[in-house]
Amino acid sequence: MMAVLARSVLVTGSNRGIGLELVRQLAASPWPPHHIFATCRHPEGPRGKRRLHDLLEPSSPLLFAPPDTVNVPSIQGAVRAVDSHLKDQGLNLLINNAGVSSHATLHSLDSQEMLSVFATNVVGTLQEFLPLLEKAAKGAGKEGLSCSRAAVINVSTKLGSIGLCLGVLQAPMYPYRASKAAQNMVTRCLAVELQEKGILCAAIHPGWVKTDMGTEEAPLMVEHSVRGILTVLASLSQDTSGTFLDWEGNSLPW
């Protein structure tokens, strides 16, 4: 299996679900990153640090930063903590995984809910970590684009694909779908804008996964989804920056 060989990785929303499993598998890899920043908004809570510590080897290269991704000062605090830890090396891989769902329909949705879902799923950590990624891209001594040099990976969903427009009547989810379609556009624009700076950007659909969000009904185990995601990330390059892929590496329409 190909492995992500990034020196440093930051995962948002890492206290449960896909984020937690990303951290677990990265730490358990035969070539773990030197620095894994497992971020969550309530690190001291019952589903925070302690849970991660219980899951991981004591020697895991794990550090905590607590950004609530809708709170800019909290994100800025995390950026400072990560920067000071990494000294001048910058951050290689940012995985924007934190997300919220919403089952609001055309009739039940209200503007406040729409905006709050957008704040988490679209705005999130869009800007603040870019200087750290630029630093990593410059300092990596590597050419081309890859997750080991510098990359932003946005965890998206097929439900946000305008091209597919899947199952609207069964799962209208207006705020969630619209926010993920917007996040997809952000990914596409970032890929164009950051290419020259040596930063890869891509969107990834994890499949329908058994987590709190995906529910027990989902067909895919989180271990399986994340193994696929990490294999896909390891394979990304200049040619696949700016694409929307699923956990098996299949290309999806935006």
Interface residues toward ligand NDP, by CB under 6 A: 12-13, 15-19, 40-42, 47, 68-70, 97-100, 120, 155, 157, 205-206, 208-209, 211-214, 218
Please return the burial class of 56, using the count of CB atoms within 10 Å of its CB with bins 0-12, 13-18 and 19+: middle
How far, in Å, CA of 66 to CA of 38, rounded? 8
C-beta closer to ligand NDP: residue 47 or 49: 47
- Tell me the closest approach of the beta carbon of residue 14 to ligand NDP, in angstroms: 6
DSSP class of residue 217 equals T
Q: Is the Cβ of residue 33 or residue 160 nearer to ligand NDP in the bound state?
A: 160
Among the listed residues 13, 64, 62, 31, the one whose alpha carbon sits nearest the alpha carbon of residue 148: 31
Total length of the chain: 254
For the CB of residue 154, give the shortest distance to ligand NDP in the complex, in Å. 8
Which of 12, 146 has the CB closer to ligand NDP? Answer: 12
Buried b (16+ CB within 10 A) or exposed e, 135-174: bbbeebeeeebbbbbbbbbbbbbbbbbeeeeeeeeeebbb
Residue closer to ligand NDP, measured from CB, 144 or 163 = 163
- Decide whether 92 or 125 has the Cβ nearer to ligand NDP: 125
Give the integer Cα–Cα distance in Å for 99 and 52: 19
CB 158 within 8 Å of CB 107: no
Q: Whose Cβ is closer to ligand NDP: residue 62's or residue 137's?
A: 62
Q: What is the nearest approach in angstroms of ligand NDP to the Cβ of residue 96? A: 8
Provide, rounded to whole angstroms, the least separation between the CB of residue 179 and ligand NDP: 9
How many CB atoms lie under 10 A from the CB of residue 118?
Answer: 17
Which residue type occupies 161?
S
**Cβ of residue 13: shortest distance to ligand NDP, in angstroms?**
3
Output the smallest distance, CB 109 to ligand NDP, in A: 17
What is the DSSP secondary-structure string of 115-136? HHHHIIIIITTTTTTHHHHHHH
